[in-house]
Structure 1
Amino acid sequence: MTWRTGITELLGVRYPIMQAGMGVAAGGRLAAAVSNAGGVGCIGASRMTPEELDREIAFVQAATSAPFGVDFLFPDLGERTASPQEGVSHAVDPKLRAEMLAVTYRRRVPLIVYAMKLPAGAAAEAHEHGITVMTLVGTARHAVRAQQLGADAVIATGTEAGGHTGAVALSVLVPAVAREVGIPVVAAGGIATGAGVAAALALGADGVWVGTRFLATRESSVHDDVRKEAVARTEDQTVISRALSGKTCRLATNDFTAYWTTHEPRPFPQQAVEINRQGLVLKGLRDGDVVSSPIPLGQSTALVDSVEDAATVLADLVGGAERAVADLAGRLGSGVGA
């Protein structure tokens, strides 16, 4: 079966299945594996130094000639420079963000994804370097604004998604966005099966952005205990919390989230700075502290039943989507004329 959507045409890929650029979890190894399998891999740069990002991009470019992306967190903070105590994060340091972008431009990465905000002028600057630009949105009005700012596609992020997310369910968000913009729409949130891919396309999406399912692969950069959590948890064992950054974020329920149900998080970015200063994200995702650290997981964790290679996951998503479409066509066809 040949797949043809706005995303396959925009990026020149076989399948419009994009691996989310999850900070810490998504390094070059995962991105290369997904892109080599026909999807779109994405490096999560949020806690990398420019040198680390350069190394990860070089790894992907040595491993595959297929398109891939780099995911940045670009909130609207105004001009400020992070102190040494705040740790490494371009999310809280515009100077560091500029250095990270310079690496991406020099390496001629095919795609940049702006996860939290698309700054004015950013798309035009990337286009000057021949780079495609996408950004995550949580409402139709945000998608319209992103298109006005020059985004080549938007990633409509439903509340089911792990990490930073909004309040609108994917089943409403995707068609609401698709009818308002003239650029491709990628669906994110709650997608971990082929049937989910097919459903997203039926809603009007041109592709999907999959996080939690790819987090639980052998190529992701997380601790094995995080993979085990992704497999073991059910759909009601995540929660929307402001504890990670001061903005709404879906996390696995644990002692960390429980503590912040009785304590008021600081506003963004102060909360993000404090969590970063304590190194809690790395402690959780890289060191395996799944009890007292923040672990971003989407509700689709309920649909993750095993740890597999990324290529196997991609093949399952593709095959499952094709079977779901064929099954639906058969069921609808059997009722024609009845």
Structure 2
Amino acid sequence: MIEQLLRTPLTDLVGVRHPVVQTGMGWVAGPRLVSGTANAGGLGILASATMTFEELEHAIVEVKGRTREPFGVNLRADAADAPARVDLLIKHGVKVASFALAPKKELIAKLKDHGIVVMPSVGLPRHAEKVASWGADAVMIQGGEGGGHTGSVPTTLLLPSVIDAVDIPVVAAGGFFDGRGLAAALSYGAAGIGMGTRFLLTQDSSVPDAVKELYLSHDVNGTVVTAKVDGMPHRMLRTRLVEEIEETSPVKRLWPTMRRTLEFKRMSGMSWLALARDGREMKKTQGRSLAQMALAANTPMMLKSGLVDGDTTAGVLASGQVVGVIDDLPTCDELITRVVTGAVEELRRAASYLV
């Protein structure tokens, strides 16, 4: 554990020592990883999209038992029970609420009224402008290099365009793994960086060791973006299963999709009515077609097979392109120390060029 070496709008806003965020990856960002990040001085974000309401409360309580440092929870803004989950964050005094999509204006207001920092993720400057006008405290951007659901604009173009569009702190994600990246992001004007794949590949991550080794075996060309898993662009490891999915016709994917939908319904405890409500909200907020909504339940179950069960023959593995430049499994404390001290060195080196 190192002392604070960098002070940014993010560290001031959230109360963490270091401007490093561990993103809310489904099935990966559980209590152990989140508390490991928090205790190391970064901002750990608990992934709740793959949790039932009861599981989320249990996870929040567990994190609070492991650390006294600030942490966050990532929420699905389009979930039918989003208001109830917001109440849960308020009840337990969670410091940060992050969202993969823009939350409703009234949810932002309610969270802010209770002192909770609101940090949605955005993919375009106009999205950042919208949530900023609604009162969001900060935004996170993810460039196309990032894993999971992603866009096509690289971080080096998306980041400055969003920074120019809003006057709230911007956290940069997509392609970050070391101190040079943090120094570069701060030089662009970002308040910090978010990392997903880099935190997945730590000792504090609960992903099975054999799966971590599979990640480490891939190079920078070892990922692919496909929309055939859940109907939306999704960056994941290039595996035999993913290649088969890419080549399979929609008709052949129909039965596996239906089967995984039933598995997701059983796992989540959701009723068919609740699933239908979520589907309607996806159609409204994301513009998904009926076919895309039918595929949506694929993602949590296929990710669970790989990231939790360790079955890479039946699961997909979300990954950023940085997987190709990662070759070790540090602890969260070792990783954050390395990133922050490396950034300070790079910033001092860059400053030496001034005349």
2:139 matched to 1:154? yes
Contact 1:25–1:44, Cα closer than 8 Å, also in 2: yes
Shift of 1:268: 3.0
Alignment CA distance shift 1:98-1:123 (3 Å): closer
Which residue of 3, 6, 13 corresponds with 1:3?
6
Alignment CA distance shift 1:268-1:204 (3 Å): farther
2:265 matched to 1:280? no
Contact 1:159–1:165, Cα closer than 8 Å, also in 2: yes
Shift of 1:306: 0.7
TM-score (norm 1): 0.88
Three-state SS of the structure 2 residue aligned to 1:135 is strand
Shift of 1:125: 1.5
**Structure showing the higher helix proportion among its residues:** 2
Deviations 1:287-320 (A, max 9, x none): 1122442110001112211111111111111111
The equivalent of 1:175 in structure 2 is: 160
Shift of 1:267: 3.8
The letter for the 2-side match of 1:54 is: E
2:109 matched to 1:124? yes
Alignment CA distance shift 1:224-1:306 (3 Å): same
Aligned equivalents of 1:247, 1:74: Cα separation in 2: 17
Deviations 1:83-111 (A, max 9, x none): xxxxxxx5xxx13x344333222112110
Aligned equivalents of 1:164, 1:125: Cα separation in 2: 27
Which residue of 71, 85, 92 corresponds with 1:107?
92
Three-state SS of the structure 2 residue aligned to 1:121 is helix
Contact 1:73–1:116, Cα closer than 8 Å, also in 2: yes
The equivalent of 1:73 in structure 2 is: 76
Contact 2:5–2:340, Cα closer than 8 Å, also in 1: no
Shift of 1:128: 2.3
Aligned equivalents of 2:86, 2:228: Cα separation in 1: 28
The equivalent of 1:289 in structure 2 is: 311
The equivalent of 1:300 in structure 2 is: 322
Q: Percent identical across equivalent pairs?
A: 35
Shift of 1:8: 0.9
The letter for the 2-side match of 1:12 is: G
The letter for the 1-side match of 2:18 is: Y
Deviations 1:46-98 (A, max 9, x none): 111122111211122122221100012234xxxxxxxxxxxxxx5xxx13x34
The letter for the 1-side match of 2:211 is: V
TM-score (norm 2): 0.84
The equivalent of 2:178 in structure 1 is: 193
Contact 2:229–2:245, Cα closer than 8 Å, also in 1: no
The equivalent of 1:20 in structure 2 is: 23
The letter for the 2-side match of 1:15 is: H
Three-state SS of the structure 2 residue aligned to 1:127 is helix
Aligned equivalents of 1:113, 1:11: Cα separation in 2: 12
Aligned residues: CA RMSD: 1.8
Contact 2:170–2:191, Cα closer than 8 Å, also in 1: yes
Three-state SS of the structure 2 residue aligned to 1:269 is helix
The equivalent of 1:83 in structure 2 is: none
Which residue of 199, 217, 229 corresponds with 1:244?
229
Aligned equivalents of 2:16, 2:299: Cα separation in 1: 37
The equivalent of 1:86 in structure 2 is: none
Aligned equivalents of 1:63, 1:274: Cα separation in 2: 32
Q: How many residues align?
A: 313
Within a 5 Å distance, the mapping from 1:200-279 to structure 2 comes to 200-262=185-247, 263-264=249-250, 267-276=291-300, 279=301
Contact 1:212–1:297, Cα closer than 8 Å, also in 2: yes
Three-state SS of the structure 2 residue aligned to 1:187 is strand
Which residues of structure 1 form unaligned runs of 5+?
76-89
Deviations 1:266-301 (A, max 9, x none): 74322112444xx32211110112244211000111
The letter for the 2-side match of 1:102 is: D
Shift of 1:243: 2.9
2:59 matched to 1:56? yes
The equivalent of 1:87 in structure 2 is: none
Contact 2:225–2:234, Cα closer than 8 Å, also in 1: yes
Contact 2:30–2:47, Cα closer than 8 Å, also in 1: yes
Deviations 1:225-252 (A, max 9, x none): 2211232211111111113321111111
The letter for the 1-side match of 2:323 is: T
Three-state SS of the structure 2 residue aligned to 1:260 is helix
The equivalent of 2:40 in structure 1 is: 37
Alignment CA distance shift 1:12-1:275 (3 Å): closer
Aligned equivalents of 1:320, 1:230: Cα separation in 2: 24
Aligned equivalents of 1:73, 1:192: Cα separation in 2: 26
Alignment CA distance shift 1:224-1:116 (3 Å): farther
Contact 1:49–1:100, Cα closer than 8 Å, also in 2: no
